Amino acid sequence: MSLIGTGCTNEVEASAKTGNAIDLAAAANEAAADIGNYAAVAAVPADEQAAGDVVRGMFAALVDRRWRDARLDWRDPANMGRVERERDGYERFIAEVGRAVADRSVDAMTVPLEIVATAAGGRQMLYTGEATLQRGRSGDRAWKIERIDLSPAIPVRVDAVYRCADGRSLTVVFDNRRQTALADMGRTTWRLEQQRVASGIGYSGQGAELRGQGRDADWRVPGQPPLRCSVT
């Protein structure tokens, strides 16, 4: 409302100088219609919403260790085994469920997943993957989980100290969830974004770049030649 009101006020002040009349009611109605049209376009289709809700409900049951309730959301409850075991190994288990994507050719939905699991000692691990859902058989047309594919767990945060060829140390804090890294060489801290590479690691940002394979990496900053570094 404040945006519409501000726009109308400015137009009224301008029209007082020019003598041109403005129909405020018509302008407000037009703005309201535009907002309604946008909301209709942005709304999540019912099937996609329903599929996402099934996955959210299943993970909510897993978080509380309500195994029986969680199995009800699967077409074949036996397929829940791995997810159940992963959950049972952690103190906390938080799942973020993305927006479902429909595959109309096979009447299926794919829902992206990101899971942060916290061990008893406080260490956090990150899983990413997706859930695949299909319609229930016969008369039950509710969405059911067919399978959940998760990547191997990686630490949410990794701290690494590199010893470089010139004797200096490069400290890098990798945030695998945000796909960023903070690199510090004592006087300057660079914020780097993860880059897509064929193998190894690749991060760049603010003119700096870190690329490596295994324990070794090349560190580049503006105006200086590449520096070879190795994890200590």
Q: Which residue has the tokens 């409302």?
A: 1
Higher pLDDT pick, 18 / 66: 66
Give the whole-angstrom CA distance, residue 21 versus residue 5.
17
pLDDT at 28: 54
Stretch 137-163: mean pLDDT: 89
* pLDDT tens column, 174-216: 999 999 999 999 889 999 999 999 999 999 999 999 999 999 9
What residue spans define the domains of the chain? 46-152, 157-231
Stretch 16-25: mean pLDDT: 44
Annotate 141-197 with DSSP letters as a single string. Answer: --EEEEEEEEPPPEESEEEEEEEETTS-EEEEEEETTTTEEEEE-SS-EEEEEE---
pLDDT at 46: 86
Structure tokens at 31: 């703005």
How does 20-31 read in b/e, with b if 16+ C-beta sit within 10 Å? eeeeeeeeeeee
Question: Which class does domain 157-231 fall in?
Answer: mainly beta
Please answer whether residues 146 and 160 qualify as being in contact, where contact means their C-beta atoms are separated by less than 8 angstroms.
no
Assess whether pLDDT exceeds 90 at residue 20.
no
pLDDT at 66: 94
Q: Which whole-number Å values give the CA distances from 216 to 48, 160, 177, 192, 212, in the listed order? A: 44, 11, 23, 18, 6
Q: Do domains 46-152 and 157-231 have the same CATH topology?
A: no
C-alpha torsion angle, residues 72, 74, 77, 79 (rounded to 10):
-160
CATH for the stretch 46-152: 3.10.450.50
pLDDT at 8: 34
* Count of residues in the chain: 232
Stretch 67-72: mean pLDDT: 95
Predicted TM-score (pTM) of the model is: 0.67
pLDDT level of residue 166 (50, 70, 90 thresholds): very high
Please answer whether residues 38 and 44 qualify as being in contact, where contact means their C-beta atoms are separated by less than 8 angstroms.
no
* pLDDT tens column, 95-106: 999 999 988 767
